Amino acid sequence: MIELLKKLAGIDRRFIYAAVFLATAIPILTKATMKVEPLPEVRKAYEYIESLPESSVVMVSIDYDAASMPELQPMLEAFLHHSFSKNLRVIMLGHWPLGLPLGQQALEKVAGQYNKEYGVDYVFLGYRPGVAAVIINLGKDFRTVFSSDYAYTPIDSLPLMREVSNYKNVKLLLGLEAGAVGDAWVQYGYARYNLPIILGSTAVSTPDYYPYMQANQVISVIGGLRGAADYETLLGITGEASIGMLPQSVIHLVIIAFIIIGNIGFLVLRRAKK
Amino acid sequence: MKKEIPLAITFISGVLLVLALFIPHKPFGNLEEIFNDWYIIVSGFTFLLGIDSLLGYNFGKLKRKEKDAPYALVLILSFFITLTWGIVEIVRTPEHNPFGPTSTFSLYFYNSIFIPLQATMFAILSFFIASAAYRAFRAKEINSALLLVSAVLVMLGRIPLGQSAAPYVITVIFLIFAVYFFAESAGVTEPKIKIAYILVALIFVALIYPLGFVYFRQHIPEFADWIMNVPQMAGKRGIMIGIALGGIAMSIRIILGIERTYMK
Amino acid sequence: MKLIFLLLLGQITPIVVKAVDTPYDAGGSITVTWELDSTWLGKIGRIEIYRYSSAGVSDSLVETLYKPDTIYVDNATEDNIPYFYGVVVYADGEIFGEGRTTEPAVSSQQWFNRKRLSVLIILLVYTIFLMYFIMRARFDKNLFIRKIAGLEAIDEAVGRSTEMGRPILYVMGLGYISDIPTVASLAILKRVAFKAAEYNAQVIVPCFDPIVMVAAQETVREGFIEAGRPDLYNESDIYYLTSDQFGYAAGVDGIMVRQKPGAVFLQGYFFAEALILAETGHSIGAIQISGTTAVTQLPFFIASTDYTLIGEEMYAASAYLSRDPLSLGTIKGEDYIKMILAIIILLGALMETFSIGNHILRDFFSIF
Amino acid sequence: MTSIIWTWIAAFFTLAILSFLYKDNPLYKFAEHVYVGSSAAFTILYVWVFDAYPKLVMGFREKVGMQKYLLIIPLILSLFIILRFIKPLSWLSRWSIAFTVGMAAGLGITGLTQGFLVPQVQASFLPLFVQGPTTGQTILLTFNNIIIVFGTIFTILYFYFSREHKGLLGVSSKIGVTILMITFGASFGYTIMARISLLIQRVYFLLHNWLGLV
pLDDT in tens, A142-152: 998 898 888 88
CA A24/CA A42 separation, integer angstroms: 25
Q: Are B81 and B89 in contact (CB under 8 A)?
A: no
Specify the pLDDT at position B264: 54
- Asked whether the beta carbons of residue D187 and residue C258 sit closer than 8 angstroms, the reply is no
Question: Best of C188, C207, C246, C282 to disrupt the B interface by mutation (most B CBs within 10 Å)?
Answer: C246
Specify the pLDDT at position A153: 87
What is the mean predicted confidence (pLDDT) over C12-29?
Answer: 86
pLDDT band at B151 (very low <50, low <70, confident <90, very high): very high
Q: Which residues of D touch A204 (CB under 8 A)?
A: 194
State pLDDT tens for residues A52-72.
Answer: 999 999 999 999 988 889 999
One domain, residues C181 and C309: yes
Does the structure show a pLDDT above 90 at A198? Answer: yes
One domain, residues C11 and C78: yes
pLDDT band at C4 (very low <50, low <70, confident <90, very high): low
Specify the pLDDT at position A188: 87
Q: Is A193 on the interface with C (CB under 8 A)?
A: yes
Distance from CA of B234 to the nearest CA of D (A): 5
One domain, residues C223 and C259: yes
Tell me what the pLDDT averaged over chain B comes to.
Answer: 92
* One-letter amino acid of A35: K
Where is mean pLDDT largest: A158-162, A191-195, B28-32? A158-162
ipTM score here?
Answer: 0.93
CA D203/CA D90 separation, integer angstroms: 50
Specify the pLDDT at position B197: 92
One domain, residues C49 and C73: yes
For C165, left (φ over 0), alpha (ψ -120 to 50), or beta?
A: left
Domain containing C72 equals 2-100
Specify the pLDDT at position A17: 97
Does the structure show a pLDDT above 60 at C9? Answer: no
Query: Is the residue at C106 inside a domain?
Result: no
State pLDDT tens for residues B179-214.
Answer: 989 988 888 888 999 999 999 999 999 999 999 999
Contacts of C340 (CB under 8 A, 6+ apart): none
Domain ranges of chain B: 4-126+257-263, 137-229
Does the structure show a pLDDT above 90 at C244? Answer: yes
Specify the pLDDT at position B262: 66
How would you label A106-135 residue by residue, b for 16+ Cβ within 10 Å and e otherwise? bbeebbeeeebebbebbbbbbbbeebeebb
If one compares D52 and C156, the residue with the highest pLDDT of the two is: C156
Specify the pLDDT at position C24: 84
Specify the pLDDT at position C94: 81
CA D9/CA B115 separation, integer angstroms: 11
CATH code, C300: 3.40.50
pLDDT band at D53 (very low <50, low <70, confident <90, very high): confident
Report DSSP letters for A205-235, one per residue. Answer: THHHHHHHHHTTSSSEEEEHHHHHHHHHHHH
Q: Is D43 on the interface with C (CB under 8 A)?
A: yes
One domain, residues C30 and C161: no
Q: Which residues of D touch A203 (CB under 8 A)?
A: 193-194, 197
Beta bridge partners of C308: C290
CA C170/CA C357 separation, integer angstroms: 52
**Chain C residue nearest residue A140, CA to CA:** C64
Distance from CA of B260 to the nearest CA of C (A): 9
Query: Is the residue at C143 inside a domain?
Result: no
State pLDDT tens for residues A5-62.
Answer: 888 999 999 999 999 999 999 999 998 888 788 889 999 999 999 999 999 999 999 9
Helices (H), chain A: 2-7, 13-30, 40-51, 69-85, 100-113, 131-140, 142-145, 159-162, 181-184, 191-193, 206-214, 224-235, 240-273
State pLDDT tens for residues B221-262.
Answer: 999 999 999 999 999 999 999 999 999 999 999 999 988 876
Specify the pLDDT at position D157: 95
Specify the pLDDT at position C5: 52
State pLDDT tens for residues A110-147.
Answer: 999 999 999 999 999 988 888 888 998 898 889 988 98
If one compares D114 and A62, the residue with the highest pLDDT of the two is: A62
Query: Is the residue at C109 inside a domain?
Result: no
Does the structure show a pLDDT above 70 at C50? Answer: yes
Q: Give the count of beta carbons closer than 10 Å to the beta carbon of residue B142.
A: 10
State pLDDT tens for residues A219-256.
Answer: 999 998 989 999 999 999 988 899 999 999 999 999 99
pLDDT band at A272 (very low <50, low <70, confident <90, very high): confident
Does the structure show a pLDDT above 90 at C15? Answer: no
Q: Is C340 on the interface with D (CB under 8 A)?
A: no
What is the mean predicted confidence (pLDDT) over C86-92?
Answer: 85
pLDDT band at D64 (very low <50, low <70, confident <90, very high): confident
For C206, left (φ over 0), alpha (ψ -120 to 50), or beta?
A: beta
If one compares B107 and B206, the residue with the highest pLDDT of the two is: B206
CATH code, C72: 2.60.40.10
Specify the pLDDT at position D170: 93
Query: Residues 198-217, chain A: which have Cβ within 8 Å of D?
Result: 202-204
State pLDDT tens for residues C303-354.
Answer: 999 999 999 999 999 888 888 888 888 999 999 999 999 999 999 999 999 9
If one compares D96 and D36, the residue with the highest pLDDT of the two is: D36
State pLDDT tens for residues C179-198.
Answer: 899 999 999 999 999 999 99
Domain ranges of chain D: 2-163
| Total number of domains constituting chain C | 3
Percent of the residues in chain D that have a pLDDT greater than 70, as a whole number: 100
CA A254/CA A20 separation, integer angstroms: 7
Specify the pLDDT at position C57: 66
Please name which of A223, A80, C112, C262 lies closest in space to residue D194, comparing C-alpha atoms. A223
- Asked whether the beta carbons of residue A194 and residue C67 sit closer than 8 angstroms, the reply is yes
Percent of the residues in chain B that have a pLDDT greater than 90, as a whole number: 72
If one compares A156 and A2, the residue with the highest pLDDT of the two is: A156
Cis status of the peptide bond prior to A129, with omega within 30 of 0: no
pLDDT band at D141 (very low <50, low <70, confident <90, very high): very high
CA B131/CA C303 separation, integer angstroms: 10
Specify the pLDDT at position C2: 52
Question: Best of D35, D58, D204 to disrupt the A interface by mutation (most A CBs within 10 Å)?
Answer: D204
CA A270/CA B138 separation, integer angstroms: 11
**Chain C residue nearest residue B59, CA to CA:** C236
Q: Which residues of D touch A202 (CB under 8 A)?
A: 194
pLDDT band at C7 (very low <50, low <70, confident <90, very high): low
Specify the pLDDT at position B70: 96
